Structure 1
Amino acid sequence: MNLARLAAERAEAGRPVRAGLIGAGKFGSMFLSQVPTITGLEVAAIADLDPDRARTACRTVGWDESRIAATAFTEDGAALAERDDVDVVIEATGNPRAGIAHAQAAIAAGKHVVMVNVEADVLAGPALARRARAEGVVYSMAYGDQPALVAEMVDWARAAGFKVAAAGKGTKYLPAYHKVTPDDVWTHYGLTPEAAAQAGMNPQMFNSFLDGTKSAIEMAAIANATGLNVPRGGLGFPPCGVDDLAHVLRPRDLGGQLEGKGMVEVVSSIERDGRPVFRDLRWGVYVVLEAPNDYAAACFRQYGLPTDATGRFASMYKPFHLIGLELSISVLSAALRGEATGCSREFRGNVAAVSKRGLKAGEVLDGEGGYTVYGRLMPAAVSAEADVLPIGLAHRVKLVRDVADGQAVTFADVEIEEDSAVALYREAMAGRAE
């Protein structure tokens, strides 16, 4: 990719790439840990609701006091986005409304945006990307996170002339997980609440990974960036190991488990009875290729790719992802090459807020990973027809009527302010893929 060389040249010229980080949580801290060893990359400013916590994070990841003293710390993400000494804004708050506001401020200020905040991206990514293109700046997914890695694999496959039958990631999943709340999340991770609290682990955030919400959000982001299709009934989470990807992730009419070709899907690392899947892909990503001709299919076999019984479908996978440790790839790509490491292009997938139990009028929804709703993936066109409430807007909104257990919440079910986040969501939805 030559990014290291290009960054080193910028350092030699006295013009290092200057990043501004909004949100010094786990993802942001992982990025900060790498910065001192990357020639040509600096962090000029860090915004966090608690600047002292951000300073502590810098010390925890190994920054020396001189580097901390040379960095500006603030509570105001929008103000960071407007700083003259920032070239690339990294939005890593995890709050969709805040992420949208910060991205808008950065784009208006002529800064590139790396959107770690996948929640914000699936809510308004296509609209934000259009704004960025109009201003001549880059709006990018975050490399190291699974959506960007999958988008890269899909792009590689297409550039090499393959058809993409399926793409996605692995996770730990059972159907019962959709009902899990923060009160009982730690039992599924093999932790006690006390141990989790001591480690600073947020139960609602970790519950989002378990109850299927985060998987739905990430697959929506991949669909919106790559043009792959979304299952009409939501993610199936078929149990599948790496040796069987090409067999399981092909259309049903060919013996697989997908409703068609060109789909996003998540595979489970455990069987439905709780047994571990052999050679699972819990931490990784994959793409299933379809050979465009007999010659390519023969090459699959000759070069050892795992294929289905026909030999026409083969899989490639990456068993791990390093999350924030790889984030600099996006920052440098945006600043030095003017390229995104994945970018929302069209609204193909949406994530509906679905009730975890019967909900009553007057109750307040608590959003992603909480007690009231989880996120279910659905085609954007289907969600528009039903006017479902996306999971990114389902935080601190009051129900005005009852919602049955397992039912998608709609805008008509809630009392919600028509603010800029809602407006941008509707703008993005207006350009959806039918």
Structure 2
Amino acid sequence: MNLHALAAARAAQSRPVRVALIGAGKFGAMFLAQVPTISGLEVSAIADLDPDRARATCRAVGWDEGRIAATRFHEDGRAAIAEDAEVVIEATGAPEAGVIHALAAIEARRHVVMVNVEADVLVGAALAERARAAGVVYSMAYGDQPALVCEMVDWARAAGFHVAAAGKGTKYLPAYHGVTPDDVWTHYGLTPEAAAGAGMNPKMFNSFLDGTKSAIEAAAIANATGLAVPEEGLAFPPCGVDDLARVLRPRGIGGALARDGMVEVVSSLERDGRPVFRDLRWGVYVVLKAPNPYAAACFRQYGLPTDDSGSYAAMYKPFHLIGLELSISVLSAALRGEPTGTTRAFAADVVAVAKRDLREGETLDGEGGWTVWGRVTTAAASRAARALPIGLAHGVTLVRPVKAGTVVTEADVAPRAVRSEAERLRETLMPAPAA
């Protein structure tokens, strides 16, 4: 608990932690809003496809003209990486761009804070290994739910508890898997005009709704913590905070999980659409399993919600503040040399599933679009099926029909004329089968 003191010491030395931000969207804007009040932290460069829009964002979040004038703005993320910075924040949300930027930052010996969970799930294990070899930190973004879950899992294990389950909450119904950007706003209680006026991206918000973002975040948690994901995809059991310990335990003792040690996302809606009592829509949780009867007795003595056996107990955080908390990752990387969660293995993957019957010749439109949604599965199952990852399911053409609800495979799509950096890295994690 000394990040503020460490950052203040750097400020006293006139040697602030310098940051290059790539992507000045909502997450980036929230981070920028906090920068003026964080001692020892400075943004030296910002890259965005529209630098003038990025400057306007800085003004909108409270930056004065002097701070804006002292910051260099670029269209190209690689130009921002080349500036004098210790830490690069990748916040574009575009998987292939995220991979390119992370590789460039690692090569330049910059620490990487990967807000871009889409890129991390696609090839994060390879990026993390390159970062370790280069002697830099590759970190999840604190404030986003995966990093907060990883923190809770690490705390639980360091305290000697078994982790039975961990994850987050969301708004979910099975029908949401078929929602498209055309009808997404009805589920948020907004008109398209109101959403457009607020600058809300329909594909991004549709990804939150159709299950894709939850799958991506579940995979990121699994790859960082060693917890398992369900091979058949998330179940999204309806569950409020008082019932976490009862629901998120193995089926053999009345719970909803295949076994202990799983990642799962709980829904804030009952299957009939009624709101769950005391839901966890915006929060994160960990379910602990007592290592001995004494610890189980302490759970109840100190007020933790438990299951009927008393052996399973839940801890949760009801909210997360997204980019407003991102500086924790930046300072931890620069001042402690530690990530706030990092990919350790390629254990879970997110595969593209057809939203409807797709025709030969159709072009897939990726996360949050009209054609596919993302379902989490194990990396082993994805390898065996040669499944198309959701991060590469954009701008590729189907060479044969795919039925609704079916996983799209690499054999279903035409190969790209030129392989991307993401595809090349992906091949190191998922090599082609021997001839």
1:47 is matched with which residue? 47
* 1:235-262 deviations in Å (ceiling 9; x for gaps): 0000000000000000000110001110
The equivalent of 2:19 in structure 1 is 19
Instruction: Give a deviation string over 1:309-353, Cα, whole Å, max 9, x none.
Output: 000000000000000000000000000000000000001110000
Counterpart in the other structure of 2:415 = 416
* Secondary structure in 2 matching 1:143: coil
Give the match's secondary structure for 2:190: coil
Tell me what 1:354 maps to: 353
1:425 aligns with 2:423: no
Q: Does structure 2 conserve the Cα–Cα contact (< 8 Å) formed by 1:125 and 1:428?
A: no
Aligned position for 2:60:
60
Q: Which residue identity lines up with residue 65 of structure 1 in the other structure?
A: E
Distance in 1, matches of 2:421 and 2:233, equals: 28
Q: Percent identity?
A: 75
Aligned to 1:364: 363
The answer to whether the aligner puts 1:309 opposite 2:308 as a matched pair is yes
Is residue 347–residue 429 contact of structure 1 (8 Å, CA) maintained in 2?
A: no
* 1:164–1:288 CA contact under 8 A, matched in 2: yes
> 2:169 and 2:404 mapped to 1: Cα distance?
27
Is the CA contact (8 Å cut-off) linking 1:172 and 1:268 kept in structure 2? Answer: yes
Cα deviation for residue 78 of structure 1 reads 1.2
Match status 1:175 vs 2:161: no
| Cα distance in 2, alignment partners of residues 76 and 180 from structure 1 | 33
Helix, strand or coil for the counterpart of 2:309? coil
Deviation at 1:14, TM superposition (A): 1.2
**Cα deviations by residue, 1:48-99 (Å, 9 ceiling, x for unpaired):** 000000000000000000000000000010121122x111000000000000
Aligned residue type for 1:207: N
Match of 2:265 in 1: 266
Secondary structure class of the residue paired with 1:173: coil
- 1:37 counterpart residue number: 37
Q: Which position in structure 1 is the counterpart of 2:226?
A: 227
SS at match of 2:43: strand
SS in 2 for 1:392: helix
- What are the within-5 Å matches in structure 2 for residues 33-432 of structure 1? 33-83=33-83, 85-417=84-416, 418-429=419-430
How far apart in 1 are the matches of 2:330 and 2:101? 16
TM-score (ref. length: structure 1): 0.98
Alpha-carbon distance change, 216 to 332 in structure 1, aligned in 2, over 3 angstroms: same
Aligned equivalents of 1:47, 1:213: Cα separation in 2: 27
Asked if 1 retains the 8 angstrom alpha-carbon contact of 2:96 and 2:420, the reply is no
Aligned equivalents of 2:172 and 2:297: distance in 1?
Answer: 35
Deviation at 1:429, TM superposition (A): 3.6
How far apart are residue 370 of structure 1 and its match?
0.2
Helix, strand or coil: the match of 1:368? coil
Q: Which residue type is aligned with residue 428 of structure 1?
A: L
**Maintained 8 Å contact 1:224/1:346:** yes
Quote the Cα distance in structure 1 between the aligned partners of 2:80 and 2:45: 7
Give the alignment's Cα RMSD to 1 decimal: 0.9
Q: Which amino acid aligns with 1:419?
A: S
Q: Return the offset for 1:428.
A: 2.9
| Kept after mapping to 2: 8 A contact 1:165/1:263 | yes
Unaligned runs of 5+ in 1: none
1:410 & 1:180 partners in 2: Cα distance?
22
Deviations 1:240-285 (A, max 9, x none): 0000000000000011000111000000001000100000000000
Query: Contact 2:106/2:112 (CA < 8 Å) preserved in 1?
Result: yes
The letter for the 2-side match of 1:126 is A
3-state SS of paired residue (2:307): coil
1:129-169 alpha-carbon deviations (Å, 9 max, x no partner) = 00000000000000000000000000000000000000000
Residues 284 and 317 in structure 1, CA contact (< 8 A), matched pair in contact too: yes
The structural deviation recorded for 1:233 is 1.3
Once the two structures are overlaid, the 10-residue window that deviates more, 407-416 or 23-32, is 407-416
CA distance in 2: counterparts of 1:255 and 1:233, whole angstroms: 20
Alpha-carbon separation, structure 2, partners of 1:419 and 1:54: 27
Q: CA deviation at 1:185?
A: 0.2
**How far apart in 2 are the matches of 1:290 and 1:44?**
45
Rounded Cα–Cα distance in structure 1 between residues aligned with 2:82 and 2:380 = 36
Gaps of at least 5 residues in structure 2 are none
CA distance, structure 1, for counterparts of residue 77 and residue 377 of structure 2: 32
Offset of residue 416 of structure 1: 2.7
SS of residue paired to 1:167: strand
Determine if contact 2:125/2:343 at 8 Å carries over to the other structure: yes
SS in 2 for 1:21: strand
What's the TM-score, normalizing by structure 2? 0.98
Report how far residue 409 of structure 1 moved. Answer: 0.4
Q: Which amino acid in the other structure matches residue 13 of structure 1?
A: Q
SS for the counterpart of 1:415 is coil
Aligned pairs, number: 430
Q: Distance in 2 between matches of 1:416 and 1:253?
A: 44
TM-aligned CA deviation for residue 45 of structure 1:
0.3
Tell me if structure 1 keeps the 8 A contact 2:6–2:335: yes
- Given that 1:145 and 1:322 are in contact with CA atoms closer than 8 Å, whether structure 2 keeps it comes out as yes
Please give the alpha-carbon distance, in whole angstroms, between the structure 2 residues aligned to 1:95 and 1:416.
20
Helix, strand or coil for the counterpart of 1:264?
Answer: strand
